[in-house]
């Protein structure tokens, strides 16, 4: 299987906007369509590799092909007037400064910082520690500065501001040592989730430098290392034919041998990503290290908004030894109006797929919104008394005591995100809102009144 990979797809390289012109698969499109792609790619991040182009996208179905929608910019991702503006600049070959300025202006209107990420999740005891977010008590998110790109860009990604240079690696770590120090003073943390971008774009050697300090004896309370990655879907060669593939797998083995749980939080958007011989071989190699592969993806219109897709995907994941974990609701950022699925429809898709698979695939939870107060799952639509309501529940929350407690929002067939919901039964607010406001006030106090309190402030 490994030997059968074509030479064109065994070396990793990203094709970007400048190379769109040279893609043979796009050559049959009219000039105006190619210009439209380029116009949008000035505003939204675009980068794709040959494996995605040659083996995942079904070009006979483009532009409707889900994998094409997943990776290539589309005209309707921008508001019509924004699109027209970029398109006319591209058509008249405007100077790049002018293109950049127009693109920036549009980007700033696309809600680049949803869900209080930029401030509320900063580690309270080390507010200036870069690259660390600590939102839920037991799990710390770590963004290594060298892992801030991906094997291809998903058009729906909520991390898009960091790919278009809107935030100068705001979340990126300056060093792995800072993370280890932080964890030493936070014994409540059991999980570190290394994320990005995609941390596996790093050479194995670099990843070692980040992970090995976490295996220290005085960090025994950190029992789980998680790696958030789409490499299995977008570049399975990472585990097969990349020059450091074996070194990478040996690192995973060392983590497992240290007595920790190594969890791959593997992003799969569509079953086709699991169906190539190389994806299956890569998954088998990762599992052979002792890692557990859990899968997650957002529900995206035009990419995977049908129950059959999720059913097929979860079945295939279980067959191959992976554990279905989360179905997310698309976040409130970027070209969301292009991708969004109303909550009610999302719940119906989830339920139909969930009820069609065996209990082993029902480890999955969803549809879940990563909102400012926590991960909120839509358990369903119900009628209580005479009122139609959404039944909601925290899967994760800023305050652990909020988890697992059903609460209710007035039913709204159009609502696509939590901030569009109102409490049911004539209540003024949801039960957690007073505490949430208090948390926000505390955070303002910390960031405004004690700006240089941390010893790391100077670093």
Ligand X SMILES: *Cc1c(COP(=O)(O)O)cnc(C)c1O
Binding site for ligand X (CB under 6 A): 133, 135-136, 139, 141, 193, 370, 375, 395-396
Q: What's the closest the beta carbon of residue 146 comes to ligand SF4, in angstroms?
A: 14
Rounded Cα distance, 45 and 149, in Å: 11
What is the chain's alpha carbon radius of gyration, rounded to the nearest angstrom?
Answer: 22
Looking at the Cβ atoms of 142 and 338, the one nearer to ligand X is: 142
For 260, the enclosing helix (H) or strand (E) is none
> Do the Cβ atoms of 42 and 125 come closer than 8 Å?
no
Enclosing H/E stretch for 224: strand 224-229
- The least distance separating ligand X from the CB of residue 280, rounded to whole angstroms, comes to 25
Q: How many CA atoms lie within 13 A of 267 on its CB side?
A: 25
Query: Segment 255-284, which members bind ligand SF4 (CB under 6 A)?
Result: 267
Task: Considering the complex, state which of residue 136 and residue 182 has its C-beta at the smaller distance from ligand X.
Answer: 136
Tell me the C-alpha distance between 453 and 459, whole Å: 13
* Distance in Å, CB of 185 to ligand X, minimum: 19
From 157, 189, 303, 364, residue interacting with ligand SF4 (rule: CB under 6 A) = 157
396 binds, among ligand SF4, ligand X, none (CB under 5 to 8 A by kind): ligand X
Pick the stretch among 51-59, 102-110, 140-148, 154-162 that binds ligand SF4 (CB under 6 A). 154-162
Tell me whether residue 69 or residue 396 sits nearer to ligand X (CB atom).
396
Contact between 274 and 313 (Cβ < 8 Å): yes
Closer by beta carbon to ligand X, 346 or else 373: 373
Extract the tokens encoding 231: 């490499």
H or E element that contains 99: helix 96-108
In the bound complex, what is the minimum distance in angstroms from residue 283's beta carbon to ligand X? 20
Q: How far apart are CA 96 and CA 115, in angstroms?
A: 32
Q: Does 309 bind ligand SF4 (CB under 6 A)?
A: no
Choose among ligand SF4, ligand X, none what residue 370 binds, the Cβ cut-off being 5 to 8 Å by kind.
ligand X
Find the shortest distance in angstroms from Cβ 327 to ligand SF4: 14
Binding segment for ligand SF4 (CB under 6 A), chosen from 153-161, 242-250, 311-319, 424-432, is 153-161
Spatial distance between the Cα atoms of 379 and 407, rounded to a whole number of angstroms = 10
User: Closer to ligand X at the Cβ: 278 or 370?
Assistant: 370
CB of 135 to ligand X, least distance (A): 4
Q: What string of DSSP letters covers 407-418? A: EEEE--TT--SG
Q: Which entry of ligand X, ligand SF4, none binds 371, CB below 5 to 8 A by partner kind?
A: none
Our CB check for ligand SF4 shows the closer of 161 and 197 to be 197
| Residue 418 binds which of ligand X, ligand SF4, none (CB < 5-8 A, kind-dependent) | none
Measured CA to CA, the distance from residue 270 to residue 327 in angstroms comes to 12
Question: 192 forms bridges with which residues in the sheet?
Answer: 140, 225
Q: How far apart are CA 123 and CA 129, in angstroms?
A: 7
Which CB sits closer to ligand X, 136 or 408?
Answer: 136
Name the closest residue to ligand SF4 (Cβ). Answer: 157
User: Do residues 132 and 179 lie in contact, with contact meaning Cβ atoms separated by under 8 Å?
Assistant: yes
* Spatial distance between the Cα atoms of 439 and 414, rounded to a whole number of angstroms: 30
How are beta strands 261-267 and 292-299 bridged, if at all? parallel
Alpha helices for 239-397 (secondary structure H): 245-257, 272-275, 277-288, 307-320, 336-339, 343-354
Distance separating alpha carbons of residues 318 and 116, to the nearest angstrom: 34
> Contact between 41 and ligand SF4 (CB under 6 A)?
no
What is the x/- site pattern for ligand SF4, positions 172-201, by CB under 6 A?
------------------------xxx---
Which one, 191 or 422, has the nearer CB to ligand X? 191
CA-closest candidate to residue 197, choices 239, 162, 233, 232: 162
Residue 82 and residue 380: Cα distance in Å, rounded? 36
Residue 157 binding target from ligand SF4, ligand X, none, CB below 5 to 8 Å by type: ligand SF4
CB nearer to ligand X: pick between 138 and 275: 138
Phi, psi of 370 (to 5 degrees): -85, 85
* Shortest reach from residue 133's CB to ligand X, in Å: 6
The residue assigned the tokens 């309501």 is 389
Of these, 130, 135, 230, 238, which contacts ligand SF4 (CB under 6 A)?
230
By C-beta, is 72 or 418 nearer to ligand X?
Answer: 418
Under rule CB under 6 A, residue 154 binds ligand SF4: yes
Segment interacting with ligand SF4 (CB under 6 A) among 12-20, 97-105, 146-154, 273-281 = 146-154
Binding site for ligand SF4 (CB under 6 A): 150, 153-154, 157, 159, 196-198, 230, 267
């Amino acid at each position: 299987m490994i030997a059968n990979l074509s030479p064109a797809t065994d070396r990793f390289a990203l094709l970007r906007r400048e190379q769109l012109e040279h893609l043979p698969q796009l050559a049959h499109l009219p000039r105006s369509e190619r210009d439209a792609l380029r116009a949008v790619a000035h505003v939204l991040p675009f980068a794709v590799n040959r494996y995605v182009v040659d083996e995942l996208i079904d070009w006979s179905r483009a532009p409707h092909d889900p994998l094409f929608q997943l990776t290539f910019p589309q005209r309707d991702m921008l508001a019509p007037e924004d699109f027209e503006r970029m398109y006319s600049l591209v058509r008249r070959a405007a100077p790049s400064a002018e293109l950049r300025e127009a693109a920036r202006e549009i980007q700033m209107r696309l809600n680049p910082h949803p869900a209080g990420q930029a401030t509320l999740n900063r580690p309270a005891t080390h507010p200036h520690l870069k690259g660390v977010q600590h939102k839920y008590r037991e799990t710390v998110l770590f963004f290594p500065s060298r892992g801030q790109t991906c094997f291809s860009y998903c058009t729906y990604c909520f991390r898009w501001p960091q790919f278009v240079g809107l935030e100068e690696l705001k979340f990126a770590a300056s060093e792995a040592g800072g993370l280890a120090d932080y964890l030493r003073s936070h014994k409540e943390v059991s999980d570190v989730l290394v994320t990005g971008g995609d941390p596996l774009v790093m050479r194995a050697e670099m990843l070692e430098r980040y992970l090995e300090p976490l295996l220290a004896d005085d960090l025994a309370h950190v029992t789980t290392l998680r790696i958030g990655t789409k490499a299995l879907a977008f570049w399975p060669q990472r585990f097969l034919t990349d020059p450091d593939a074996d070194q990478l797998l040996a690192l995973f083995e060392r983590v497992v041998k240290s007595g920790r749980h190594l969890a791959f939080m593997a992003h799969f958007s569509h079953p086709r990503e699991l169906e190539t011989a190389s994806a299956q071989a890569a998954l088998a190699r990762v599992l052979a290290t002792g890692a557990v592969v859990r899968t997650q993806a957002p529900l995206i219109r035009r990419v995977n908004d049908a129950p059959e897709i999720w059913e097929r995907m979860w079945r295939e994941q279980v067959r191959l030894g992976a554990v279905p974990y989360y179905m997310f609701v698309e976040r409130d950022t970027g070209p969301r109006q292009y991708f969004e699925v109303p909550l009610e429809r999302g719940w119906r898709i989830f339920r139909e797929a969930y009820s069609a698979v065996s209990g082993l695939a029902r480890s999955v939870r969803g549809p879940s919104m990563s909102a400012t107060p926590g991960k909120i799952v839509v358990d369903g639509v119900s009628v209580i008394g005479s009122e139609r309501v959404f039944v909601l529940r925290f899967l994760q929350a800023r305050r652990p005591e909020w988890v697992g407690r059903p609460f209710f929002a007035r039913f709204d067939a159009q609502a696509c995100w939590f901030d569009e919901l109102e409490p049911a039964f004539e209540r003024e607010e949801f039960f957690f809102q007073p505490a949430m406001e208090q948390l926000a006030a505390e955070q303002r106090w910390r960031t405004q009144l004690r700006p240089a309190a941390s010893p790391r402030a100077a670093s």
